[in-house]
Amino acid sequence: MQLQKARPMKLSKLAILPPFLFMAACATQPTWSPSSSNRELGVARVAYEHAKSEDPVMSDTQAVQLAMNRCETWGYARAEMIPGELRECSVQNGDSCDVWKVTREYRCSSEGSLARTAAR
């Protein structure tokens, strides 16, 4: 059996690869997804992750819809956003954070649940 010497890759193929990978990475737009919510407190959470180099423009409508779905499953009528966002490092690289997780919280409410709470 004869071994063949590996041929080096041409420079033109190497030059094309990094820009292609960069464009593919940039094409990925994060979306909101349900996160660790708390039924007892009536708090629905939605979150997304993004690389440190990204500054994504997120859909508020999608976030509210996900929170509403969670609240409705629990028997509530509304999801009201609690002001602010929680931001935590998801992937640490030494002193730098490569991936951030951003979370929004929504308070689930309805007249029926408030009336039950007041009657107790």
* Beta bridge pairs of residue 102: 48, 87
pLDDT at 51 over 70: yes
Within a domain: 95: yes
Within a domain: 92: yes
- The C-alpha atoms of residue 107 and residue 38 are separated, in whole angstroms, by 10
Owner of token pair 């859909």? 59
Mean pLDDT of 5-10: 54
pLDDT band at 105, cuts 50/70/90?
Answer: very high
- The C-alpha atoms of residue 53 and residue 99 are separated, in whole angstroms, by 9
Domain count, the chain: 1
Within a domain: 3: no
What range does the domain containing 90 cover?
31-119
Within a domain: 1: no
Within a domain: 67: yes
Within a domain: 49: yes
CB-based contact 118:105 (threshold 8 Å): no
Within a domain: 83: yes
Within a domain: 54: yes
The whole-model pTM stands at: 0.68
